[in-house]
Amino acid sequence: LACGGTIKVFVEPAVRPDVLAAARGPGGQVVAAVVEGPGLGRSVLIHEDGRIEGSLGAAVPEPRVREAALEALRREASITTAVETTEGTASVFLEVFARQPRLVIFGGVHIAVALVPLARALGYRTIVADGRPAFLTRERFPDADQLILGWPEAAFDEVGLDAACSVCILSHDPKFDEPALQLALRSPARYIGAIGSRKTQASRRDWLRTSGFSDEEIARVHGPIGLDLGGRQPAETALAILADMTAVRYGGAAARA
């Protein structure tokens, strides 16, 4: 390569049905194909819940492949991994088909207005929810993929929070923020951020403890939300939030809880 690196190219004469199905599907799947060693040419489809369709053969330990596949899916990175089998070492290519990331914002405030277009530019499906009609209009959010008018429970139930979701709680109103936080913490959302000062965050953590959440669970909340970039404008705060979400998504050194 011009950059001085090298690559290995895996060439197939036709697209396998499992790859085609994964590419056309909603994501959350990994195609594991043996590209060298025992089981050469075999492939399986691994779902995010651990289900496996197909077989790599008796020699290849499926639990090991499943573990590596789910880790690759979590990192959203296709990799080739070495797997020890009863007949020697096999090289297995793990082709990741991740779900489209979703940004779920509760609170149609000025920061949310700036956050939506930035998130869309990074490939997120953007969903804004609020219980206040005046904050949730197409004039304010012309680019949002979905607007949901309602309280957190109804809104999050409609969304269906999953591991591809990043949740930003921005309403500045405890009657919305508190139930939204509880619901987000009970979900597998990969990022949960809440706006508010350090004093507000400390009070919020105390309240979450009295509500039955453990310190480990509470540590999932990023608050004050976003990386400390020193910005003051809504767009700068939105940038800090997206930077924090990106660090968490890819395991960057800036990721924090």
The radius of gyration computed from the CA coordinates of the chain, to the nearest angstrom, equals 21
Q: Is the peptide bond before 224 cis (omega within 30 degrees of 0)?
A: yes
User: Which CATH number, 3.40.50.150, 3.40.50.720, 2.40.110.10, 3.20.20.120, labels domain 102-250?
Assistant: 3.40.50.720
Domain ranges of the chain: 17-97, 102-250
Q: How many CB atoms lie within 10 A of CB 162?
A: 14
Please give the single-letter amino acid code of residue 41.
G
Q: What is the pLDDT of residue 257?
A: 45
What would the DSSP string read from start to end of 203-251? HHHHHHHHTT--HHHHTTEESS-S------SHHHHHHHHHHHHHHHHHT
Rounded to whole angstroms, the Cα distance separating 35 from 257 reads 38
List Cα–Cα distances, 106 to 28, 47, 183, in angstroms.
25, 29, 12
Q: Which residues contact 189 (CB under 8 A, 6 or more apart)?
A: 104, 161, 162, 163, 165, 166, 167
Q: Going residue by residue through the chain, which has 257 residues, state the pLDDT in tens, using 9 for 90 and above.
A: 788 888 887 776 666 677 777 777 777 899 999 999 999 989 999 998 899 999 999 889 999 999 999 999 988 899 999 999 999 999 999 999 988 999 999 999 999 999 999 999 999 999 999 999 999 999 999 999 999 999 999 999 999 999 899 999 999 899 999 999 999 999 999 999 999 999 999 999 999 999 999 999 999 999 999 999 998 899 999 999 999 999 999 887 666 54
Q: What is the pLDDT of residue 155?
A: 97
CA-based nearest residue to 236, from 246, 245, 226: 226
Residues in the chain: 257
Q: Which residues contact 75 (CB under 8 A, 6 or more apart)?
A: 250, 251
Q: What is the pLDDT of residue 256?
A: 54
- Helix %, strand %, coil % of the chain (to 5): 35, 25, 40
Q: What is the pLDDT of residue 8?
A: 80
- 33, 95 Cβ separation under 8 angstroms: yes
Q: What is the pLDDT of residue 14?
A: 63
DSSP 196: -
Q: Where are the alpha helices (DSSP H) in 99-163?
A: 110-121, 152-159
